[in-house]
Structure 1
Amino acid sequence: MAERTVSGTWSVVITGEQWALLHGHLFPGDGDEHGAILRCGIAESSRGARLLVHDVVPAVDGIDYIEGQRGYRKLTAEFVAENIGMCAEQGLAYLAVHNHGGQDRVGFSRTDMASHERGYPALLDINAGVPVGALVFAENAVAGDIWTSDGERHTVIDLRVAGRPHLTLTPELIIAPMSDPTYDRQARIFGDRGQTILGGSKVAVVGLGGIGSLIGEYLARLGVGELVFIDPDRIDPTNLPRVVGARRFDAWSPLQSDTRPRWMQRLGARLATPKVKIAARAARQASKTVRITQVRRSVVDSDVAMLLTDCDHIFLAADSALARRLVNSVTHQYLIPNTQVGSKVTVIDDTIADIFSVVRMSSPGSGCLQCNELIPAWRLTEEATSEVQRHRQRYVDDENIHAPSVITLNAVAASRAVDDWLMAIGGLTDSAVSADHWVAYHPLTDEVIEHEPAKSPDCRHCGPFRFAMGDKRSLLARP
């Protein structure tokens, strides 16, 4: 493997399930020191490098973690050799872990640092230049020392738990600055710390139609710092009642009227405003500080898909099987939670059979959309074929006939989706609540149906092949 040079900050990302295992092993209540090894994928971006925890390997006390000659305890040579060998074989980073006492502040001892200097050059060589290092934990803090093949050593700025609720650990407690008075009313709920998290978040919205446009405005008004809007489409007159911020002029409605010649309707469609531009305009009206990236292309294009890999959360409001598959794989490959959002009205023989809004928040490592049969193979096949072929093989569904939709159904789904995300990152979610919360609201029957997603251990999306592998695996995108 080629040597790796990474600039910028370093952080560690771990799932909620992994964190429960690791924290429980390090802090069982005996006040003693314990050890483990983390095998990690790597993701690099303009914001720095993230070590994505692929495996947590607890060291068994007295067998793998024993009394040390120079320090209090140490990992055995056999345990280190086994795990560095597995890291080298899979191209993963290696992190040795132990804990100290204390609560909100932690750092390596002189003995710890000396052991790194003795052992890590050799481990880095064995690992073919893929980073090696160590983490030390207190109850509510973490510090890290990462070694890279360019001869540099890097500190870890934080460890993030991508679960529900989210959790961020730093080397010492950071006092959040007082939030902008503009957000006083919501800071009374989430606190200055919560508002700081919102301001530092980078969130993608895929699909800026009826639901996505609402989500985009909600996020901007909440004070989210950076938004990535992705949608290839332009507005049309039938979107105007549902897309937040859309104006009649955006759709060039006079030209797109059914009474106009076809050439004039096509001209109106070409002149219509892109949905991402409308969403960005609405977001900027809502927030004076938000940074926005507009992408008027499909999310399944490889360079567009890469934009998702640097986000903190993804809202998927596009009803496309290819988009679902792509976002689903990004969530588990890069440990980035997503929320798939939709609403639908089913009509059979001119009779409304069902109406529902659905919100599916997926945490990395949990049951995914693929495991739960929400990415139909026939839809993938159809969407992957050419437009001419799609029209030839289409019998019942007609993509030119708009499905029923209404803004209130979209608002139910959008509000629930953003609320679930807010509660998670604000640390307000009850720890007893399932990490993944899939909810469907059926207004015809006034039913709210909750669903626990299933998980398949050999899934190619959330299973070992792709899980936390970061940049080592290709995205499920088209070139």
Structure 2
Amino acid sequence: MDFQLKISGEHYNSLKNHLLPNDKKESIAIALCGRHIDEDCQCLFVHEVILIPYEDCQVRENDLIQWSTNKIIPFFKRLTNTDFGILKIHSHPLGLRSFSEQDDFSDKELFDSVYGWSNTGNPHASAIMMPDGEIIGRYIFSDLHFEPISKISIAGDRLLYFGGNSDDYSKPEFALRTIQTFGDTTYQKLKGLKIAVVGCSGTGSPVIEQLVRLGVGELILVDPDIVEFKNLNRIINSKYTDAKKRKPKVEAIANAIEEIGLGTKIKVFQKNLFDDIATLKAILKSDGVFGCMDSVDGRFLLNQLCSFYLLPYFDLGVKLEADGEGGINQIVASVHYVQPLKSSLLTRNLFDMNDVRASSQYRKNPEEFLELKKNAYIKNVNVNSPAVISINMTIASHAINDFLNRIHPYKVEEPNEYASSTIDITEGYIINGKEETYEVDHYLAKRAGRGDMTPFIEMPELSK
């Protein structure tokens, strides 16, 4: 069983500022967590945080803290009506990278009370923040025994992954350039990551190719379509025989990855996101998502899923404007990095809810959609505008470089300067957008880290 903890960048920064004050004494906070449980994985997602004021602690030393639980009674009361989890997190200013005997005692005392309030026997968690911001943790079960957390993930301006590295610390020859550029630590982290790519055609296939060559440990590939002859000009590694056999795109790409032979594990789903909840549950267990789709409703769904389950989301898009005479006036491509508790694709005005409804109508009933569009009952939505391979590869590389910069910052400006990046290929310039320039999506912010619930991510269509 794999035990994980996920935290948004916003909550991580708040915890870090509180838990590591200048006085270098232990501090503490409590989080209410959503959860996901299946047969091979349990994960807690930080949903709300209470920072225990320093003045409310009876004792605060550099190796000891004693505090009152009065401020977290509201969290306890919510346990009686939901399946939320509780995370206790405190600091070790002296840098002890393990739980002390005092920690064992205080955890058992606290969580014995927690289980008294809880209406389920599902586990809770305790964690320690080190002076450098690293977090280690453990799950605590109803019999008060502990199990270590294997990976703790932070989805913020930076992508932080504590634990979860591959047990294989070898440095194969194909990885030496990656290590030289981004460091051995980054390469080891990449080997321990599971990345989902939704849409495996024009932009998706070059994204996949780069992730494989960088040594990412596991890929989840999602695409409902088959390889057609018209796709051969832009799907990396697709072959004439794939189109002739009408092979699923995910299968064709998976076969190519296996032939490359660099060790990346693959799970494929020849599914539409709206048709198979098992696919969505596979994605939510990943460490990050690349959305490489044209469909507005699919991008809306991914944004919502990544908020509920605290996943970093890279949204790739290409826009072609025709001149009406068989040519192109403008070619623009963009990467939007979306993180929990911040802006969304909606608040960045990439589309609105009318676009989402129109895209959904096209997916469910293309014939009716075209009739409604003809009669101006529905807003025009671009449902099929593939770009050529050179454009797709440009924006795919741009997205991967942003992903790497968030794991191992190498650019002059901080990662928060690149919430969006638009390349105007016809004009030859790049415009970057800061996160602070975009409006927070308050609807999703209230649901960040909510985890499992009914209906699934508050979309009744997915629960049918």
Normalising by structure 1, report the TM-score: 0.85
**Mapping of 1:394-413 within 5 angstroms?**
394-395=373-374, 403=385, 405-413=387-395
Equivalent of 1:54, from 47, 50, 54? 47
Residue pairs, 1:272-311, within 5 angstroms: 272-301=246-275, 302-311=277-286
> C-alpha distance in 2, partners of 1:436/1:314?
17
Deviations 1:428-471 (A, max 9, x none): 46783317521111122112122235234532xx221x210112
Q: State which of 136, 157, 160 in structure 2 corresponds to 1:164.
A: 157
Partner of 2:329, secondary structure, is strand
Percent of paired sites with the same residue: 23
Distance 1:354 1:30, change over 3 A: same
**1:111–1:77 distance in 2 versus 1, CA, 3 Å:** same
1:386 and 2:365 aligned: yes
2:342 alignment counterpart: 366
Match of 1:470 in 2: 451
Aligned partner letter, 1:285: E
Query: Matches of 2:431 and 2:411 in 1, distance apart?
Result: 19
| 5+ residue gaps, structure 1 | 1-7, 253-270
Q: Which residue of 2 aligns with 1:258?
A: none
Displacement, 1:360? 0.9
Residues 236/132 of structure 1: CA separation in 2 closer, same or farther (3 Å cut): closer
TM-score between both structures, scaled by the size of structure 2:
0.87
Secondary structure of 2:328's aligned partner: strand
Q: 1:201 to 1:94 in 2, by over 3 A?
A: same
Structure 2 unaligned residues grouped into runs of 5+:
none
**Which residue is equivalent to 2:100?**
109
Amino acid at match of 1:458: H
Q: 1:276-355, aligned counterparts within 5 Å?
A: 276-301=250-275, 302-350=277-325, 352-355=328-331
Which of residues 184, 191, 194 in structure 2 aligns to 1:202? 194
1:89: Cα distance to partner? 4.7
C-alpha distance in structure 2 between counterparts of 1:299 and 1:156, whole Å: 29
Q: 1:187 to 1:68 in 2, by over 3 A?
A: closer
Deviations 1:51-107 (A, max 9, x none): 2111221111112x22289x943221312423322444553211222212233x422
Of the candidates 73, 85, 92, which is equivalent to residue 100 of structure 1?
Answer: 92
1:343, distance to aligned residue in structure 2 (A): 1.4
Aligned residue type for 2:22: G
Match of 1:132 in 2: 124
Choose from 418, 427, 439 the match for 1:455.
439
SS of the equivalent of 2:415 reads: coil
Residues 300 and 228 of structure 1, relative CA distance in 2, 3 Å threshold: same
Structure 1 residues 278, 146: closer, same or farther in 2, change over 3 A? closer
Contact 2:8 2:155 in 1 (8 A): yes
CA separation of 1:250 and 1:117: change in aligned 2, threshold 3 A = closer
Instruction: Tell me if the contact between 2:25 and 2:60 (Cα under 8 Å) persists in the aligned partners.
Output: no
Contact 2:33/2:449, CA 8 A, preserved across alignment: yes
Q: How far 1:126 moved relative to its partner?
A: 0.4
- Taking the aligned partners of 1:335 and 1:430, their CA distance within structure 2 comes to 27
Alignment check: 8 A CA contact 1:321 1:376 kept: no
Secondary structure of the structure 2 residue equivalent to 1:365: coil
Task: Measure, in 2, the Cα distance between the counterparts of 1:22 and 1:156.
Answer: 18
Deviation at 1:394, TM superposition (A): 3.2
How well do the aligned residues superpose, as a CA RMSD in angstroms? 2.9
Given the superposition, is the C-alpha separation of residues 176 and 32 from structure 1 closer, same or farther in structure 2, using an over 3 Å criterion? farther
Matches of 2:8 and 2:161, distance apart in 1: 12
Q: For this pair of structures, how many residues does the alignment match?
A: 447
Q: CA 1:388/1:17 → structure 2, altered by over 3 Å: closer, same or farther?
A: same
Aligned to 2:25, the other structure's residue is in SS state coil
The whole-number CA distance in structure 1 between the counterparts of 2:219 and 2:333 is 24
Q: Given the superposition, is the C-alpha separation of residues 359 and 110 from structure 1 closer, same or farther in structure 2, using an over 3 Å criterion?
A: same
Q: 2:387 & 2:114 partners in 1: Cα distance?
A: 58
- Cα drift, residue 404 of structure 1: 6.0
355-364 or 343-352, larger mean C-alpha shift:
343-352
| Counterpart in the other structure of 2:241 | 249
SS in structure 2 of the partner of residue 36 of structure 1:
strand
Q: Which has the larger radius of gyration?
A: 1
Q: C-alpha distance in 1, partners of 2:163/2:22?
A: 22
Q: C-alpha distance in 1, partners of 2:139/2:410?
A: 32
CA pair 408-237 structure 1, distance change in 2 beyond 3 A: same
Q: How does 1:394-433 map to 2 (within 5 A)?
A: 394-395=373-374, 403=385, 405-426=387-408, 428=410, 432-433=414-415
In the alignment, does 2:424 pair up with 1:442? yes
Provide closer, same or farther for how the CA distance between residues 418 and 368 of structure 1 changes in structure 2, counting only shifts above 3 A: same
Change (3 A) 1:317 1:119: closer
- Deviation track 1:105-128 (CA, whole Å, cap 9, x = no partner) reads 422322222223333222212022
Q: Would the aligned equivalents of 1:300 and 1:322 in 2 still touch at CA under 8 Å?
A: no
Q: Distance in 2 between matches of 1:134 and 1:37?
A: 9
Alignment equivalent of 2:111, drawn from 108, 120, 137: 120
Q: Cα offset for 1:22?
A: 0.8
Supply the distance in 1 between the matched residues of 2:26 and 2:413 (Cα, whole angstroms): 26
What CA deviation, in whole Å up to 9, does each residue of 1:366-391 have, x standing for no partner? 21112223343333333334233123
**The residue matched to 2:445 in structure 1 has which SS?**
coil
- Partner Cα distance (2:148, 2:240) in 1: 53
The whole-number CA distance in structure 1 between the counterparts of 2:315 and 2:64 is: 48
Structure 2 distance, partners of 1:430, 1:86, is 45
CA distance in 2, matches of 1:275, 1:209: 7
Q: Deviations over 1:313-332 (max 9, x none)?
A: 11111111221121101111
Q: Using the alignment, how far apart are the partners of 1:432 and 1:299 within structure 2?
A: 33
